[in-house]
């Protein structure tokens, strides 16, 4: 059966539990690489650390390119403070209040330490002004779960400036069909492409066009999919989250197709092709504009690739924070992915 949404959700669960801030996503990439090899695919590894699988189609002159990214938001140790706690610098774009109180892991060269992201002035019994203090680089710290009260003691543990910090995903599913977790952006999409590739191999399906599937590892910092695009590629699809909020058309129950983001409009003909596929195949969809957003597809355009580019994905509530979507949105997105790879070019 395709799509098997429960299988996809289980794949999402596995992926979000693999730490992978941009610059440190090698374990998530390794997971995808080994899984794809177990399906029987030949996997190409890029110098940047991403991976690509090519599925040969009936037409091998004009190619398609689909990508999802496995890197996530995170942080890095900026300084070891006099009391032994850690000052952080962000990886990716988010608000510090979105991770206040979150459990985290500090990845030193030799060991993984646990900790909690706290404001320095957390205790309301000590800091009367705690409510009003700005959550920023100066006030947010990592409280390490080790007996350390000085910079020297923390350094003796093996923790140093430049160590990566990953955030606990807190993955949950609900009886009402919701999937809640950090890092649904974009591990939900990566799971969908993995499940599609499994289905194509299991059912020995031949696609109309040779299609490259790229799992990128630097999207959150702006350059995940702007290289390693073969010259034959004429259409480029980024499968990534739909952004929800006031003034947005997208929701958690449909597939969100992006018309424009901060990089400008996406390719009109390709976008309309996706809309037509939704209408023809009774796929529930919304067309939307994401005002503060960029994707691997827009990065590829900035890099100068001569392709039609588009973006669609599941609707994700509270993006770059405690994210949530619904199984219905995952299912509709998978239907559109499947319809697209079997369709004619736009």
289 DSSP β-pair partners:
260
CA distance linking residue 221 with residue 323, whole number of Å: 19
CA distance 51 to 32: 8
Q: Annotated catalytic residue: which of 219, 317, 323, 334?
A: 219
Give the single-character DSSP code of 346: -
Say if CB 75 and CB 247 are below 8 A apart: no
Spatial separation of the C-alpha atoms in residues 144 and 307, rounded to whole Å: 47
Residues whose CB falls within 8 Å of the CB of residue 338, separated by 6 or more in sequence, listed in order:
2, 3, 196, 199
- Confirm if 338 and 196 have CB atoms less than 8 A apart: yes
The answer to whether 8 and 334 are in contact (CB under 8 A) is yes
220 is catalytic: no
Give the catalytic positions in this structure.
219
């Amino acid at each position: 059966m395709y799509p098997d949404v429960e299988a996809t959700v289980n794949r999402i669960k596995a992926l979000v539990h693999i730490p992978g801030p941009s610059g440190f996503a090698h374990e998530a990439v390794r997971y995808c690489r080994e899984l794809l090899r177990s399906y029987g695919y030949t996997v190409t590894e890029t110098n940047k650390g991403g991976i690509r699988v090519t599925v040969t189609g009936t037409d091998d002159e004009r190619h398609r390119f689909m990508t999802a990214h496995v890197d996530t938001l995170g942080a890095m140790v900026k300084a070891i403070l006099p009391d032994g706690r850690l000052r952080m610098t962000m990886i990716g774009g988010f608000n510090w209040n979105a991770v206040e109180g979150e459990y985290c892991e500090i990845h030193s060269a030799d060991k993984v330490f646990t900790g909690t992201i706290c404001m320095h002035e957390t205790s309301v019994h000590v800091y009367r002004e705690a409510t009003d203090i700005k959550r920023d680089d100066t006030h947010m710290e990592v409280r390490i779960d080790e007996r350390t009260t000085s910079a020297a003691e923390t350094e003796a543990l093996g923790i140093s400036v430049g160590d990566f910090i990953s955030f606990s995903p807190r993955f949950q599913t609900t009886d009402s069909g919701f999937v809640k977790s950090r890092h649904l952006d974009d591990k939900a999409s990566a799971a969908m492409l993995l499940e599609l590739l499994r289905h194509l191999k299991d059912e020995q399906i031949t696609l109309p066009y040779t299609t490259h599937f790229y799992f990128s590892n630097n999207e959150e910092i702006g350059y995940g999919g702007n290289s390693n695009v073969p010259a034959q590629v004429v259409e480029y699809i980024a499968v990534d989250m739909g952004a929800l909020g006031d003034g947005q058309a997208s929701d958690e129950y449909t597939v969100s197709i992006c018309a424009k983001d901060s990089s400008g409009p996406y390719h009109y003909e390709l976008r309309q092709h996706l809309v037509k596929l939704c209408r023809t195949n009774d796929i529930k969809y919304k067309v939307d504009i994401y005002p503060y957003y960029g994707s691997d597809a827009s990065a590829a355009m900035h890099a100068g690739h001569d392709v039609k580019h588009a973006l669609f994905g599941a609707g994700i509530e509270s993006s770059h924070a405690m994210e949530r979507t619904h199984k219905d949105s995952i299912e509709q997105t998978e239907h559109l992915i499947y319809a697209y790879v079997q369709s004619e070019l736009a």
